[in-house]
Structure 1
Amino acid sequence: MPLTPLDIHNKEFGRRLRGYDEDEVNEFLDQVIKDYESIIRENKELQNQVLSLQEKLNHFANIEETLSKTIIVAQEAADEVRNNAKKEGQLILKEAEKNADRIINEALAKSRKVSLEVEELKKQASIYRARFRTLVEAQLELLSQDGWESLEAAASASEYEPFSR
């Protein structure tokens, strides 16, 4: 157990012949008591400071740990967001490719349909021209026959007889 200032103050030494000067010893012991009390006070203050600094250190260590965990969580969240964005981008790209394929296929189908319709119209136009040519040729042939001249004469004679029938 450490020595206290009271222990020093209450200490009594035995007397012998030719011993130390009692007043000097008492004065020295008083100085030792003062210095010892001062050291004890300083020691207590330093212990309190150590405790305070230890509490602050613990507080900052907790803050550091929290920040470290927060940074890790933020990094993981950023990685997750990046991965999700990448996946979403890939899905959008695949969807766009599907739509592009569908649009191309629809355009090709319409192109084939229009091509078939054009061919059909060409055939119909060709048939129409052939029929029209046949009709015109038949009409020209009728006009070039001799029977028209007699009809023309009869028509000239009956000009003066409207609706003679």
Structure 2
Amino acid sequence: MVLSPLDIHNKEFGTKMRGYNVDEVNDFLDQVIKDYQITLNHNKELEEQLDAANGKLKYFNDLKDSLNQSILVAQEAADKVKANSQKESEIIIREAQKQSSDIVSEATNKGNQIMDEASKRAKKLAVETDDLKKSTRVFRQRLQVMLESQLEVVKSNDWDSLLKEGSMSSYEEIKKVVGDRLDNDQSQGVNSDASQPESAATATETPVVDAPVADAASNEDNGETVVIFPDNDQPHFDQDK
């Protein structure tokens, strides 16, 4: 049991002969009491300071643990955010690449489609142009044959014999001679057309003929011979003669 200053103060010693001086012993005990009290007070202060320091140490330890926990939580959150951001960026990159690939593919397909359509149109136009040229050549050849036959009729010597002064030929005779001449020329024109099967076949496939020529061709197909006289030169015959 630890002695207190009061225990030291109340302590009594027995006296003997040749013992210590009572006054000196009491004075010394008083001094010991004071020093001991000072020591106790100082020790109490140190204990209080130690308790305060221990409290602060505990506080800082708790704060350190809390900070460490917060750091761990923040690190985990940062790692999650980083991982999510990386995943989102990868998804965005993949979607962007897919969209760009789709756009390029669609543009390529449209371009190819446009090129194919343009090529088909160009080929079709070339075929139509070639057919038109062939039809035009056939038309020109037929027109040339028809005009040449008409010109041969005009240049025929039969006209001179029929139309010479003093001739007594009737209208029916002139008509018969002219008709026979035109029929012969028409037969020659048909033979000339038959000698060119490619042109005729093309004309059959693509008939491109103007309206006046079509009328002339229809007249030829029907076997009719049309003779056109100038208004001023058309002969008039008296049926009585």
Alignment match, 1:37: 37
3-state SS of 1:2 partner: coil
> Alpha-carbon deviation of 1:71?
1.2
3-state SS of 2:15 partner: coil
Q: Distance in 1 between matches of 2:148 and 2:130?
A: 26
Alignment match, 1:119: 119
Q: Which moved more, 1:56-65 or 1:3-12?
A: 56-65
Tell me which stretches of 4 or more aligned residues in structure 1 moved more than 3 Å: 147-150
Q: Distance in 2 between matches of 1:12 and 1:30?
A: 13
When the two chains are superposed, the root-mean-square deviation of aligned CA atoms in Å is: 2.2
What percentage of aligned pairs have identical amino acids? Answer: 39
Q: Distance in 2 between matches of 1:109 and 1:93?
A: 24
Relative to the length of structure 2, the TM-score reads 0.59
Alignment match, 1:73: 73
- 1:1-165 aligned within 5 A: 1-144=1-144, 145-146=147-148, 157-158=230-231
Q: Which runs of 5+ in 2 are unaligned?
A: 155-227, 233-241
Higher helix share: 1
Alignment match, 2:237: none
Relative to the length of structure 1, the TM-score reads 0.83
Question: CA offsets, 1:115-148, max 9 Å, x none?
Answer: 3212211221112112221232234224423256
Q: Distance in 1 between matches of 2:12 and 2:150?
A: 176
Q: Which runs of 5+ in 1 are unaligned?
A: 160-165
Find the structure with the greater CA-based Rg: 2
Q: Which moved more, 1:37-46 or 1:62-71?
A: 62-71
Q: Relative to 1, partners in 2 of residues 1:94 and 1:61: Cα closer, same or farther, differing over 3 Å?
A: same
